[in-house]
Amino acid sequence: MFWAIIVIMRSFLLTQGGVKMIKRYFVAMVATAMFLANTSFAETDVSHNWNAEGEAAALAVFKATYESLGGTWKESAFPKTEDSQASTKTRFLGGNPPMAVQGALGGSTADFANAGMSADLSAYAASGNWDDLYTSGIAGSGKHDGKWVSIPVFVDTVNWLFTNKGVLDAAGVSEPTTWNDFVDSLSTLKNAGVIPVAIGGEDWQETVAFDHMILAAGGASFYENVMSGDLDAIGSDAMVQAFANFATIREFTDEGKAGRSWNDTNNLVVSGKAAYIFMGPWATGGYADMEEGKDWSCRLTPWSNTVTALADGFHFIKSDNSADKEAQRLFAAALTDLDTQVKAAAAKGTLPAMKGADPAEFSGCSTKAVDRMNSGETATHWNALSSGLKSALKDTVTAFWNGDMSPAEGRDALLAAVKDI
């Protein structure tokens, strides 16, 4: 019976009708293969370095909205911004880019655009009226040559001093309100057997701490001039003082700082092994099980009425793949949803980039940031600078911190590095 069926099928396939059926089947197989090839090679992941508790919670909010719009979530996590952005550039050259990469906007926005890597989001921006959703300054951080290429989601106020109040209380130290008060407290804390200042072994952690040294040396206008690459400001005596301030706190850090991540460093303060850490609002999530105001505090640089701020968001990467473009459309819609931004900002302990958020939605550190921004001075943070100026600052600061330069030599090294850009 089996062989009879085979003979009948063979006879049919050799007829004209059988040949047509084979052709139709072959065409269908080719079409299916082409569709699957186009789909399977579409890498629609998001590249990021949001790994801490608060950052991961914020990313989960964006993920939920993206999936509710029909997107399939994929992500590639890296320990540092430099790692995720370097991977993005490599993948772009290989024809396999992520749909977006998270990072500070401003200088990096221009860097990606000038490298020919940025997607043109103009059509999405026009249909969503993005120019009406943001202030002009924040909108500008997501544009290059007048075109939207990145999407701001947060405004990060970076110059925070986090304190374990229990550690200070046990040592009989009051929270410092001036630079001299802060320095005076360090010896007392060291004698009490705790780490006075927790700093990790990464160049950006050292440079975040250096922000406070600059503000102590010259205030907001001096900080802004330095960050704009003003050679007179960089070559001034105030910059020598900033490096001298940095050398002072170095004596009150621990020997285990080399190579230590910021999260592990923050945990030293959370666990009561250290008193202070200079860190951005992303550190807030680590204190979730502690009572703010009683167990810990977050304060913008106590010795300066200044906010150093930058827009954080996602750079969209150019792709010719239709699946990537559709994923980008959905992701853009998720990122520019106000409710989503507000929930994500609350989870991360920062502020949404879009206008229209209700101040009642925020508390703690975020409320302090809003108050300071309304009453104080705002300066552009170095992480929003061009890659050349940012690298010059970070490289010099970390060389000073880990070397034996004098404060004057630190000033001279920074001046030379900026001149070489």
Question: In this predicted structure, what is the pLDDT of residue 22?
Answer: 40
- Cα–Cα distance between 352 and 34 in angstroms, integer? 42
- Topology of the domain covering 46-155+311-365: D-Maltodextrin-Binding Protein; domain 2 (3.40.190)
Tokens, residue 161: 């001093």
Q: How far apart are the C-alpha atoms of 386 and 109, rounded to whole Å?
A: 9
- Among the listed residues 397, 59, 385, 368, the one whose alpha carbon sits nearest the alpha carbon of residue 205: 397
- How far is residue 273's CA from residue 195's CA, in Å, rounded to a whole number? 6
From CA 317, how far away is CA 108, in angstroms rounded?
A: 12
pLDDT of 380 above 90: no
Average pLDDT, the chain: 88
Q: Do 160-309+366-419 and 46-155+311-365 fall under one CATH topology?
A: yes
Q: So what's the pLDDT on residue 235?
A: 98
Whether the CB-CB separation of 416 and 235 falls below 8 Å is answered with no
CA distances from 42 to 36, 39, 74 (A): 10, 5, 11
For residue 345, pLDDT beyond 80? yes
Hey, where are the domains in the chain?
A: 46-155+311-365, 160-309+366-419
Per-residue model confidence (pLDDT) at position 375: 66
Which superfamily does CATH assign the domain made up of 160-309+366-419 to? Periplasmic binding protein-like II (3.40.190.10)
Task: Give the per-residue pLDDT at 374.
Answer: 67
| Mean pLDDT on 59-85 | 95
Whether residue 183 contacts residue 219, with contact meaning beta carbons closer than 8 Å, is answered with no
Any idea what DSSP says for residue 281? G
pLDDT given for residue 284 in this prediction: 87
pLDDT band at 12 (very low <50, low <70, confident <90, very high): very low
**Residue 241 confidence (pLDDT) above 90:** yes
The Cα–Cα gap between 252 and 199 comes to: 10
Question: SS3 breakdown of the chain: % helix, strand, coil, rounded to 5?
Answer: 60, 15, 25
What is the bridge-based pairing of β-strands 46-48 and 100-104?
parallel
The pLDDT of residue 10 is above 60: no
Q: Is residue 197 scored above 60 in pLDDT?
A: yes
Q: Residue 152 and residue 401: Cα distance in Å, rounded?
A: 32
b/e per residue 239-249 (b: at least 16 CB within 10 A): bbbbbbbbbbb
Q: Does pLDDT of 7 surpass 90?
A: no
Q: Residue 276's beta-bridge partner residues?
A: 163, 197
Query: Is 0.75 surpassed by the pTM of this model?
Result: no
Of 119 and 365, more confident: 119
